[in-house]
Amino acid sequence: MLIDTRVRKSPYWELSVQAGAWRASIYNRMYHPRGYVPREEGGMSVEYQSLVNDVTLWNVAVERQIRVKGPDAEAFTNYVITRDATRIPTLRARYVILTNEKGGILNDPVLLRVADDEFWFSISDSDLLLWLQGVNVGKRFDVEIDEIDVAPVQIQGPKSAALLADLIGPVAHEIPSYGLHITKIAGRDVVISQTGFTGEKGYEIYLYDATKYAEDLWNEILRVGEAHNLRVVAPAHHRRIAAGILSWGQDLDHETLPFQVNLAYQVPRHKEADYIGKQRLEEARARLEAGAPPYETQLVGFKFGGRPIDDYAPDFWLVSESETSEPTGYVTSPWYSPELESNIALAHVPVGRTSLGTEYWIHLPDVYSDEPGRPVRAEIVEVPFRPSVNPNQRELLKQKGLDAAV
Annotated binding site for substrate: 204
Reported as half-sphere exposure (CB side, CA atoms, 13 A), residue 103 has a value of 20
Phi, psi of 367 (to 5 degrees): -60, -25
In whole angstroms, give the CA distance from residue 207 to residue 190: 5
In whole angstroms, give the CA distance from residue 238 to residue 334: 8
**For the packed helices 210-225 and 160-168, what is the interaxial angle rounded to 10 degrees?**
120
The single-letter DSSP state of residue 176 is: P
Which is nearest to 238 in space by CA: 406, 8, 75, 56?
56
In whole angstroms, give the CA distance from residue 202 to residue 359: 35
Binding site feature residues: 204
Q: Which helix (H) or strand (E) holds 207?
A: strand 202-208
Burial class (CB in 10 A: 0-12, 13-18, 19+), 272: exposed
Could you count the other beta carbons within 10 Å of the beta carbon of residue 305? Answer: 17
| Contact of 262 with 392, CB cutoff 8 Å | no
How distant is the alpha carbon of residue 189 from its chain centre?
25
Contacts of 284 (CB under 8 A, 6+ apart): 103, 257, 259, 294, 295
